[in-house]
Amino acid sequence: MAVRVDGRWQVSYELHFTNTSRSELRLTRATVLGGPNETPLADLSGAVLAADLAPVNTIGHTKADPVLIAPGQQAVLFLDIVVPEPQVPHEFRHRFSYTTAGNNKALTQWSDELAVDSTKPSLIAPPLRGGPWVAIHSPAWPRGHRRVFYTRSGHARLPGRFAIDFVKVDDKGRMTAGDPDLVGDAFGYGDDVLAVADATVAAVHDGMDEASRISARTTPPADEDAGNYVALRLPDGRYAFYEHLKKGSVRVAAGDKVRTGEVIGALGFSGESTGPHLHFHVADGSTPLGAEGRPFEIRSYRKLGHYDDISKLGSPWVPMVDGKGATRVGEWPDGNDVVSFP
């Protein structure tokens, strides 16, 4: 499904490979072609291919030869394809080149057609007010949302395929007004979290304790990663998830009707969280880990700048060229953009 990102159309999906042979296979090239004329949209090889391919037992870890797929092993290729305007292709095909152990001659294989869903992403109001907020996400991080599979009921899913962690900063990029280890001193902690649509509350979890210091955080079981959360059923049938909410802050119960902009809870530090922030994503099911992440677009926000390197978070970001920012309408914030909401 195509989503609008920073003035371009992007389709994000994964291809799963299984080596059913007795030989080691080394993927050397992957080409993505779109439309009836099979226009090349992406051509991955070398370091780019190695960065985007991850054998399933090494996701989140480094591997000496990341393009090597051992006998019986599965691997996932994470793709984020920028597609031409104004017409998004109705289908993609993929051409792969690979070599086998002891043979450097490249072999080629084609995939079947992959249909592009013509359904529109969920169009939502902002989940927060004001800012600046850093919209943190990246497909390249081994343990980022984009690459974290959860298996429930025999199916591996990516709930956070389009998830964003919203971290509040000040105009100098600082994340705290005092002690950086003290949760209560973090900008954004306790801020109102808002309903993004006229919706029905599908699920609620509250009461999970939070550490008062970031250094005192513990790693919960996977089923508690979301911490305190609210899930809303949106008018299009998808679900909006708000995770890591402040204990005792949730103002709604399952079955309640909420209006756009209504306060439903407060930003917190519960669950699997490295610091106070709002984890937000949209999915096709009502449980945090048992649904596939779906794209969404925010009706309106202002892009103030971005971080080229998110490790620089806490220091000034790179501002927009004009220094004033730009209003974005109906887009998904790009990775590590700095934004503000009405």
pLDDT tens per residue, range 222-237: 889 999 999 999 999 9
pLDDT at position 92 over 70: yes
Output 70 or 143, whichever has higher pLDDT: 70
Mean pLDDT across the chain: 92
* Model confidence, pTM: 0.94
Cis ω before 86 (30° cut-off from 0): yes
pLDDT score for 197 = 98
pLDDT at position 304 over 80: yes
pLDDT in tens, 257-302: 999 999 999 999 999 999 999 999 999 999 999 999 999 999 999 9
Q: How far apart are CA 97 and CA 28, in angstroms?
A: 6
pLDDT score for 33 = 94
Tokens for 97, please give them. 């080149």
Tokens for 284, please give them. 């096709």
| Residue 186 DSSP label | B
- Label residue 221 by pLDDT band (50, 70, 90): confident
Residue 130: name the closest of 245, 267, 10, 247 by CA: 267
Can you tell me the mean pLDDT for 94-111? 92
pLDDT score for 214 = 94
What are the start-end ranges of the H helices in 215-318? none
Residue-range domains of the chain with CATH:
2-115 (2.60.40), 122-341 (2.70.70.10)
pLDDT in tens, 190-205: 999 999 999 999 999 9
pLDDT at position 41 over 80: yes
pLDDT score for 194 = 98
**Burial per residue of 103-130, b for 16 or more beta-carbon CB atoms within 10 angstroms, e otherwise:** eeeeeeeeeeeeebeeeebbebbbbbee
What proportion of the chain, given as a percentage, has pLDDT over 90?
77
In the three-class reduction of DSSP (H, G, I as helix; E, B as strand; rest coil), residue 311 is classed as helix
Can you tell me the mean pLDDT for 156-180? 95
Phi, psi torsion values for 223, nearest 5 degrees: -65, -15
Amino acid letter at 272? E
- Label residue 62 by pLDDT band (50, 70, 90): low
pLDDT at position 60 over 70: no
- CB-CB contact of 203 with 286 (8 Å): yes
Phi, psi torsion values for 315, nearest 5 degrees: -120, 170
Q: How far apart are CA 283 and CA 87, in angstroms?
A: 25
Residue 320: name the closest of 132, 154, 58 by CA: 132
CA atoms within 13 A on the CB side of 82: 6
pLDDT score for 28 = 95
Q: What is the number of other CB atoms lying within 10 angstroms of the CB of residue 156?
A: 12
